[in-house]
């Protein structure tokens, strides 16, 4: 069983328009590498200097990963991952 | 062009005046692909700042899950400027991640929390390009509007 990853509109150019894709990984970091293998270019939009980009939110089972260990957040089959860019500005 | 009802314009302006001098922010959701601004959803500015806004991350997820359940999308993303004109800042442009949305800017710099006219403008922001667009306000009272 895989992990479903919800893809925001702005990143669907990397997933052929798909709103959600399946991926695998024991941690969020591994999952993002797996996403990158199947959807080249997406990793750079999520990660900067080895960490999640400041204005990208990732949720695992509705928890913001900033509060659950960031890229090291552990994942299990059946987890639901949501990627949402921050809605922010000045 | 942004087509929007007078009642939704009033809701956005009331929110901006209420939160002045901090920036106010929110969305108007509508059926996916319809370009119809229908459901008013004011959001908390987690930054609580006169120069920055950011949707609270928990509220952001709740909002999007609700929109997915309803087959909606953000038709309008609005926020206020409280000391400058109603034009997207460099930060607004850099962080604009909804290429399909109308970005509405209001400026409360003239009257703050008090009654009085407010600049109300709409823009498209796509790949760093800002295009101002016409705002067509209809008298029709929105029945879908609700407080969050």
Does A55 reach chain B within 8 Å, measured CB to CB?
yes
Domain range enclosing A78: 3-85
At residue A54, φ and ψ (nearest 5 deg) are -55, -35
CATH: 3.50.50.60, 3.40.140.10, 3.30.465.10, 3.30.2350.10. Which one for B2-138? 3.40.140.10
Residues from chain B that touch A86, judged by Cβ atoms under 8 A, are 54-55, 57, 60, 95, 97
Using DSSP's 3-state secondary structure scheme, residue B8 falls into helix
Residues A19-26: what's their mean pLDDT? Answer: 97
Whether A90 maps to a domain, the answer reads no
Preceding omega of B21 cis (within 30 degrees of 0): yes
CATH number of A12's domain: 3.10.20.30
- The answer to whether B4 and B37 are in contact (CB under 8 A) is yes
Contact A89 B55 (CB under 8 A): no
Does B96 reach chain A within 8 Å, measured CB to CB?
yes
Q: Which of A9, A10, A86 sits opposite B55 (nearest CB)?
A: A86
Residues A47-58: what's their mean pLDDT? Answer: 97
Angstrom distance (rounded) from CA B3 to CA A88: 23
| Prediction pTM value | 0.92
Whether A29 maps to a domain, the answer reads yes
- Name the residue ranges covered by the structural domains of chain B: 2-138
Does B73 reach chain A within 8 Å, measured CB to CB?
yes
Token couple for A78: 């059946």
Residues A49-72: what's their mean pLDDT? Answer: 97
Does A62 reach chain B within 8 Å, measured CB to CB?
yes
Whether A22 maps to a domain, the answer reads yes
Structurally, chain A folds into a number of domains equal to 1
- What is the model's pLDDT at position B139? 83
**Per-residue model confidence as pLDDT tens digits over B109-148:** 999 999 999 999 999 999 999 999 999 999 865 455 444 4
- What is the model's pLDDT at position B148? 45
ipTM of the complex: 0.93
- What is the model's pLDDT at position B141? 55
Contact A84 B96 (CB under 8 A): no
Residues of chain B with confidence (pLDDT) below 70: 140-148
Angstrom distance (rounded) from CA A48 to CA A35: 16
């Amino acid at each position: 069983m895989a992990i479903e990853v919800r893809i925001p509109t702005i990143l669907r150019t990397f997933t052929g328009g798909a709103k959600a894709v399946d991926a695998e990984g024991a941690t969020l970091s591994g999952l993002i590498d797996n996403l990158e293998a199947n959807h080249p270019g997406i990793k750079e939009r999520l990660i900067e200097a080895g960490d999640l980009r400041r204005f990208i939110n990732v949720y695992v089972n509705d928890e913001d990963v900033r509060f659950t260990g960031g890229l090291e957040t552990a994942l299990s089959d059946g987890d639901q991952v949501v990627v949402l860019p921050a809605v922010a500005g000045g | 062009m942004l087509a929007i009802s007078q009642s939704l314009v009033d809701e956005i302006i009331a929110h901006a005046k209420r939160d002045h001098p901090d920036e106010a922010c929110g969305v108007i959701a509508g059926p996916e692909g319809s370009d119809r601004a229908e459901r008013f959803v004011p959001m908390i500015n987690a930054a609580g700042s006169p120069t920055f806004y950011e949707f609270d991350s928990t509220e952001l997820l709740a909002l999007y899950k609700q929109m997915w359940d309803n087959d909606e999308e953000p038709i309008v993303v609005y926020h206020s400027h409280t000391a400058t004109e109603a034009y997207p800042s460099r930060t607004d442009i850099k962080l604009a991640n909804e290429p399909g949305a109308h970005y509405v800017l209001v400026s409360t710099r003239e009257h703050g929390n008090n009654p009085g006219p407010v600049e109300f403008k709409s823009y498209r922001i796509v790949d760093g390009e800002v295009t101002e667009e016409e705002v067509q306000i209809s008298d029709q009272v929105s029945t879908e509007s609700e407080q969050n």
